[in-house]
Amino acid sequence: MNISYLGPKGSFTQIALINYFGEGSNQISKRTINEVFDSVEGEDAEYGIVPIENSFEGSVNNTHDLLMASDLLIYDEIQLRIHQCLIAQTTDINQIEKIYSHPQSFGQCQNWLKENLPNAQLIPVFSNSEGAETVLKSNEGCIGSKTLTELYGLNLVKENIEDSKENTTRFVILSNKQQDKSKNSKVSLIISPPNSDASGSLYNLLKPFASEEINLLRIESRPFRGQLWSYVFFIDCEGHIDNKNIQNAIHTLKEQKTNVKILGSYPSHNDS
Q: pLDDT confidence of 136, banded at 50, 70, 90?
A: confident
Q: Is the pLDDT of residue 271 over 50?
A: no
CATH (domain of 127):
3.40.190.10
User: How large is the average pLDDT for residues 88-102?
Assistant: 95
pLDDT the model gives residue 229? 63
Does the residue 272 lie in any domain?
A: no
**Among the listed ranges 26-30, 108-112, 219-223, 246-250, which one has the minimum average pLDDT value?**
219-223
pLDDT band for 212, please (50, 70, 90 cuts).
very high
Assess if residue 128 is contained within a domain: yes
> Does position 272 have pLDDT exceeding 50, yes or no?
no
Residue 119 lies in a domain: yes
Q: Is the pLDDT of residue 27 over 90?
A: yes
User: Can you give the pLDDT at residue 21?
Assistant: 95
Number of domains in the chain: 3
Quote the pLDDT of residue 250.
96
Q: Is residue 180 part of a domain?
A: no
How many residues belong to the chain?
272
Shared-domain flag, residues 171 and 154: no
Task: Report percent pLDDT > 90 for the chain.
Answer: 71
* Residue 139 included in any domain: yes
Structural domain includes residue 197 = yes
pTM of the full predicted structure?
0.84
Same domain, 155 and 205: no
pLDDT tens, position by position, 37-62 = 999 999 999 999 999 998 877 888 89
- Note the pLDDT of residue 198: 62
Q: Checking DSSP bridges between strand 2-6 and strand 47-54, what pairing results, if any?
A: parallel
Domain that includes residue 204, residue range: 185-267
In this model, does residue 206 exceed pLDDT 60? yes
pLDDT band at 79 (very low <50, low <70, confident <90, very high): very high
Average pLDDT over residues 61-74: 94
Contact 221, 233 (CB under 8 A): yes
Residue 36 sits in the same domain as residue 171: yes
Domain closes at, from 118, 146, 175: 175
What's the CA gap between 38 and 215, in Å, rounded? 33
pLDDT digits over 143-166, tens only? 999 999 999 999 999 999 999 888
Q: Are residues 121 and 105 in the same domain?
A: yes
Please compute the mean of the pLDDT values over residues 77-106 and round it to a whole number: 94
Q: Is the peptide bond before 194 cis (omega within 30 degrees of 0)?
A: no
- The whole-chain average pLDDT of the chain stands at 91
Q: What is the mean pLDDT of residues 198-227?
A: 85
Query: Same domain for 72 and 91?
Result: no
- The CATH number of residue 238's host domain is 3.30.70.260
Both 95 and 134 in a single domain?
yes
Query: Could you read off the pLDDT of 227-254 as tens digits, one per residue?
Result: 666 788 999 999 999 999 999 999 999 9
Neighbouring residues of 173: CB distance < 8 A, sequence distance ≥ 6:
20, 47, 48, 49, 74, 75, 76, 77, 78
